[in-house]
């Protein structure tokens, strides 16, 4: 399956290369600079703009607005189309339309089309001739040529990154600005560092290479293919190959069918485990339903059919939502976990279940000292055809306090309780461990022997967010405490964690994010450090 998925993804990756959308314009200059925050291209020291129909505009400088698909050639401008040509002090034209406006100090403003037939007098539209006053030193990309596909991407040849820390100039770089929601979908797992490099692109497809860093495997190279049809459908797939370790593959697809129905599909392969899933959803106002089926290596499968109510009003602004589900867990050949431990465990190949979930949410309330308070309560029970039930109850509360325009305090608490009950067979499914697990100091972890299927997870956090107004810099400090049962030293969530995250822009078009974390008194160590880093355009 992995080899087939890899070959399929590679074939998909080649498709955009062969069918890359035709460029609508090419901008050349002694210097071409790009500003990612405004999608502005500026060419200086002699600029030439070539359009797909053969129209060519040359001037001292040129500006292309990729958001509006407009261009301005300023200073000794000359437009040529076939044998026809015209001169002006400035020329404004559209990348995907025939309109051409000419500005001349003697004749004022005249208007024509790309065939350059006799220009006719027109009223001046200052916005069409606006040329941005920018500092080239703050540009995200510096190049000599930009090839433009409207509403999709722009390729720079070559490309240097004057405001990026440590960025290496490359012969070619593809910057994508297509707005389809499908381009935000990805099957790549989260990474400490992920820098994409566009290879091929169209308004509906993008092939990109990712340089990544993962905790554990270290450096990886990933190839990702994304195909989108507006916001209604997408297909995305990726191969992530660590420099050390096994590659992972994944593919997912989504389709919205009208205003009420959606369908999705996904498949992945990681560490020798292959799995696939498909789902169909429906929404009717706030209510809805879902059918889902999943299958993985070894023949294990699950099926779920669920219905949910809309958020129903309760007194004092609270709301309640009820979800009911029916489904089964299956194991090809029998011996479904956890029933496989029974003497007749091979009998259990499919076990049906049904359940109900009730979720209650409070409104946001004003608390003392100007705080904002909210709370939720979620309770669920699942009954199985085999004598068994599973219960969960989760309560959460959060508070926030705005200290000043740029300083906010956050606090939160979550208490979750879970229980697995096997009437008459509790000690069979949860026997006393023998021998008991050992703590890092080598002594038996006696508390683990008290576990009989019921567990508690308690989590509290206190955060300080500093984000000055009119600033791209932010700092967040977090103190987190987990008090769980069962909580084995070095396994699960650390009891205490402190982390700091900061995001800032050393240059207007480059953002950097750094994170540092410490787990305290965990796994036999005084503290365990961790870090994260990301570059953002």
Report the candidate in 209, 63, 185, 198 with the shortest Cα–Cα distance to residue 128.
Answer: 63
Model pLDDT for residues 127-185, shown as the tens digit of each residue = 889 999 888 888 889 999 999 998 889 999 999 988 765 567 889 989 988 888 888 88
Q: What percent of the chain has pLDDT over 70?
A: 92
Q: How far is CA 289 from each of CA 285, 304, 329, rounded to the nearest angstrom?
A: 11, 10, 19
77-107 burial, b at 16+ Cβ within 10 Å, e below that, comes to bebebeeeebebbbbbbbbeeeebbbbbeee
| The pLDDT of residue 241 is above 50 | yes
Mean residue pLDDT across the chain: 88
Please state whether the predicted TM-score (pTM) of the whole model is above 0.75.
no
Handedness of CA 182, 187, 188, 190 (dihedral sign): positive
The tens digit of pLDDT for each residue in 64-85 reads: 999 999 999 999 999 999 999 9
Q: Which two tokens stand for residue 416?
A: 């979750």
The residue assigned the tokens 């600029």 is 47
Query: Reduced to 3 states, what is the DSSP secondary structure of residue 346?
Result: helix
Average pLDDT over residues 509-528: 81
Q: Where are the alpha helices (DSSP H) in 353-490?
A: 426-429
Residues 6+ apart with CB under 8 A from 74: 59, 60, 61, 62, 63, 89, 90, 91, 129, 131
Structure token digits, residue 314? 């309760």
* pLDDT at residue number 19: 44
Q: Which stretches of 368-499 are DSSP H helices?
A: 426-429
Percent of the chain beyond pLDDT 90?
58
25-151 CATH, one of 2.60.450.10, 3.30.500.10, 3.20.20.140, 2.120.10.30: 2.60.450.10
pLDDT number for residue 278:
98
CB 250 within 8 A of CB 187: yes
Task: Give residue 15's pLDDT.
Answer: 43
Backbone angles phi, psi at 69, to 5 degrees: 60, 45
> Residue 89: what pLDDT?
94
The DSSP secondary-structure symbol of 6 reads H
- Listed in sequence order, the DSSP H helices in 401-488 are 426-429
HSE-CB of 85 using CA atoms within 13 angstroms: 8
Higher pLDDT, 14 or 459: 459
Q: How far apart are CA 123 and CA 107, in angstroms?
A: 12
Q: Are strands 407-421 and 388-404 parallel, antiparallel or unpaired?
A: antiparallel
Q: What is the pLDDT of residue 4?
A: 40
DSSP letter string, 387-408: TEEEEEEEEEEEEEEEEETTEE
> So what's the pLDDT on residue 508?
60
For 59, what's the count of Cα atoms within 13 Å in the CB-facing half-sphere? 27
| Paired sense of beta strands 510-522 and 525-536, if any | antiparallel
Quick one: how many helices (H) and strands (E) in the chain? 2, 33
Q: Say how far apart CA 92 and CA 129 lie, in whole Å.
A: 6
pLDDT tens digits for 470-506? 888 999 999 999 998 887 666 678 889 999 999 987 7
Average pLDDT estimate for 262-273: 92
């Amino acid at each position: 399956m992995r080899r087939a998925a890899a070959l399929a993804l590679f074939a998909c990756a080649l498709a955009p290369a062969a069918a890359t959308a035709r460029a609508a314009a090419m901008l050349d200059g002694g210097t071409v600079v790009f500003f990612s925050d405004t999608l502005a291209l500026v060419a200086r020291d002699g600029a030439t703009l070539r359009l797909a129909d053969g129209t060519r505009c040359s001037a001292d400088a040129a500006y292309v607005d990729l958001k509006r698909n407009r261009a301005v050639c300023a200073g000794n401008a000359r437009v040529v189309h076939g044998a026809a040509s015209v001169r002006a002090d400035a020329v404004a034209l559209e990348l995907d339309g025939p309109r051409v406006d000419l500005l001349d100090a003697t004749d004022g403003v005249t208007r024509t089309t790309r065939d350059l037939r006799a220009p006719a007098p027109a009223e001046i539209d200052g916005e069409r001739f606006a040329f941005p006053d920018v500092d080239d030193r703050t540009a995200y990309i510096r190049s000599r040529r930009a090839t433009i596909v409207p509403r999709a991407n722009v390729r720079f040849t070559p490309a240097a990154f004057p405001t990026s820390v440590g960025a290496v100039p490359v012969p070619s770089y593809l910057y994508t600005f297509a707005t389809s929601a499908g381009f935000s979908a990805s099957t790549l797992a989260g990474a400490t560092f992920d820098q994409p490099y566009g290879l091929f692109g169209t308004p509906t497809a993008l092939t990109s290479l990712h340089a990544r860093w993962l905790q554990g495997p270290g450096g990886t190279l990933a190839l990702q293919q994304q195909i989108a049809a507006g916001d209604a459908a997408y297909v995305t797939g990726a191969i992530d190959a660590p420099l050390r370790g096994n590659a992972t593959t994944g593919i997912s697809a989504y389709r919205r069918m009208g205003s009420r129905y959606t369908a999705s599909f996904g498949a992945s392969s990681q560490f020798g485990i292959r799995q696939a899933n498909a789902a169909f959803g429906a929404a009717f106002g706030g209510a809805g339903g879902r059918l889902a089926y999943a299958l993985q290596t070894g023949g294990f499968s699950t099926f779920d059919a669920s219905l949910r109510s809309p958020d129903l009003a309760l007194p004092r602004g609270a709301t309640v939502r009820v979800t009911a589900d029916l489904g089964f867990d299956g194991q090809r050949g029998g011996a479904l976990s956890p029933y496989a431990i029974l003497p007749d465990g091979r009998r259990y190949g499919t076990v049906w279940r049904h359940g109900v979930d009730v979720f209650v949410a409070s409104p946001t309330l004003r608390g003392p000292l100007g705080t904002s308070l909210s709370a939720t309560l979620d309770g669920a029970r699942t009954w199985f055809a085999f004598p068994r039930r599973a219960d969960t109850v989760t309560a959460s509360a959060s508070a926030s306090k705005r200290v000043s325009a740029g300083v906010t305090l956050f606090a939160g608490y979550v208490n979750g309780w879970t229980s697995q009950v096997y009437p008459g067979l509790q000690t069979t499914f949860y026997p006393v461990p023998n021998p008991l697990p050992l703590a890092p100091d080598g002594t038996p972890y006696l508390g683990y022997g008290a576990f009989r299927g019921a567990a508690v997870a308690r989590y509290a956090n206190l955060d300080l967010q500093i984000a000055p107004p009119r600033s791209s810099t932010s700092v967040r400090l977090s103190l987190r405490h987990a008090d769980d049962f069962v909580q084995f030293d070095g396994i699960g969530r650390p009891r205490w964690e402190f982390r700091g995250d900061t995001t800032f822009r050393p240059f207007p078009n480059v953002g950097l994010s750094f994170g540092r974390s410490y787990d305290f008194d965990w796994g036999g160590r005084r503290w365990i450090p961790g870090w994260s880093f990301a570059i953002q355009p």
